[in-house]
Chain A
């Protein structure tokens, strides 16, 4: 069966510090991968998606970047965090762009 992992589960970082969140998927090959952010009391905002190694599409201009160094690994990064980067970050995978997505447990990021 497939599983998706995210770490860390929670993170408190000062403004201006770097960020690296990792997501890995097990039990499937060549998945589509997604990064979402949920701000407090709001819905899901798609940040990045990837259909293959090294292929990243950005949905919104922002202070964040994403990379996919391996087939089942998706990394969200920032060189300098802003207060507005606080939120709940979710990674998801799917077999295609139109099928259901399966979500990881999320990372709660607080920028102080």
Chain B
């Protein structure tokens, strides 16, 4: 069974600073990995996904994530934070063996706070 750990339920950065949100996964097979963003009172929006192609994945809104198999990590970064990046971020993993119809396993989320 797969699992996801997001380190830090809250992360605070200054506007213009680097954003780093951490995600570690556990999976018995090569995983698919995802990052989602959720703004208040809205659904989740897919930021980016890793599906065993390039290990550095670029997403929307200037975010990117790097798959590191040796570290079982998929951290999300953005070089320069903007006030509009303040939101909840979820990391998710799936087992691409096709046996699990119950879909993705989500982390508990990280609330990103941007300080002016």
Chain A residues near B (Cβ < 8 Å): 6, 32, 34, 42-44, 46, 49, 51, 57, 59, 88, 90, 92, 94, 96-106, 108
Contact = CB atoms under 8 A, between A and B. Distances in A.
A8 to B, nearest CB: 13
Given A49-B102, A98-B103, 5 more contacts: A6-B43, A43-B90, A57-B101, A97-B101, A103-B45
Contact of B97 (A42, A57, A98, A105): A98
Size range of the chain B interface in the assembly: 20 to 34
B101 A43 contact: no
B98 A98 contact: yes
Interface centre among B90, B99, B109 (most CB of A within 10 A): B109
Contacts, number: 68
8 contacts: A43-B109, A46-B102, A49-B102, A90-B43, A94-B103, A97-B100, A97-B102, A108-B41
Nearest to A88: B41
Interface in B46-102: 46, 49, 90, 94-102
A105 B45 CA distance: 10
Contacts of A57: 101-102
A109 to B, nearest CB: 12
A55 B97 CA distance: 21
Contacts of A6: 43
A7 to B, nearest CB: 13
B98 A97 contact: yes
Contact of B102 (A43, A59, A103, A104): A59
